[in-house]
């Protein structure tokens, strides 16, 4: 038998996916990335490439950054889906890549982070 609480839970999951991500929460979540990434171009070098102009950018295309061959040759173009896929588990999406980040597993967190990134990396 399906209990009412289960139905509520499913309804909540469904509705949260229909909503756009929460950019304020995304900004907070970016604390997990900020030690290695800047959201704008022309900032002092960090461990990872800057993310300025990320959406629509070809993977591995920041000129003076030493990417892994795996990322450079991936043929990926960054959009909402590819970024979400990558940050959910970087080592699965780009096998042999060198981003030392375990992954952001929660769908809603990734939605929020991407909502923030879309604004901040423009």
33 near ligand HEC, rule: CB under 6 A: yes
Closest distance between ligand HEC and the C-beta of residue 4, in Å? Answer: 36
Q: Which tokens sit at 76?
A: 């990926």
What is the phi-psi region of residue 103: left when phi exceeds 0, alpha when psi lies from -120 to 50, beta otherwise? left
Angle at 68 between CA 78 and CA 28, to 5 degrees: 50
CA–CA separation, 52 and 57 (whole Å) = 9
> Rounded to an integer, what is the distance from CA 34 to the centroid of its chain?
12
85 near ligand HEC, rule: CB under 6 A: no
The smaller minimum CB distance to ligand HEC, of residues 9 and 45, is found at: 45
Determine how many CB atoms are found less than 10 A away from the CB of residue 48.
Answer: 19
Closest distance between ligand HEC and the C-beta of residue 17, in Å? Answer: 20
Closest distance between ligand HEC and the C-beta of residue 22, in Å? Answer: 15
The smaller minimum CB distance to ligand HEC, of residues 3 and 48, is found at: 48
Q: How many residues bind ligand HEC (CB under 6 A)?
A: 29
Binding mask 92-121 for ligand HEC (x = CB under 6 A): --x--xxxxx--x-----------------
Q: Which tokens sit at 114?
A: 């991407």
Closest distance between ligand HEC and the C-beta of residue 36, in Å? Answer: 3
């Amino acid at each position: 038998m399906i209990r009412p609480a289960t139905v509520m839970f499913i309804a909540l999951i469904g509705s949260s996916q229909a909503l756009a991500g929460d950019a304020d929460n995304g900004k907070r979540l970016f604390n997990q990335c900020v030690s290695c990434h800047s959201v704008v171009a022309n900032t002092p070098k960090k461990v990872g490439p800057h993310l300025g102009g990320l959406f629509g950018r070809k993977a591995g295309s920041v000129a003076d950054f030493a990417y892994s061959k795996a990322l450079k040759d991936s043929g990926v173009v960054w959009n909402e889906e590819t970024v979400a896929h990558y940050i959910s588990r970087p080592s699965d999406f780009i096998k042999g890549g060198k981003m030392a980040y375990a992954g952001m597993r929660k769908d809603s967190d990734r939605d929020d982070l991407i909502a923030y990134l879309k604004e901040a990396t423009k």
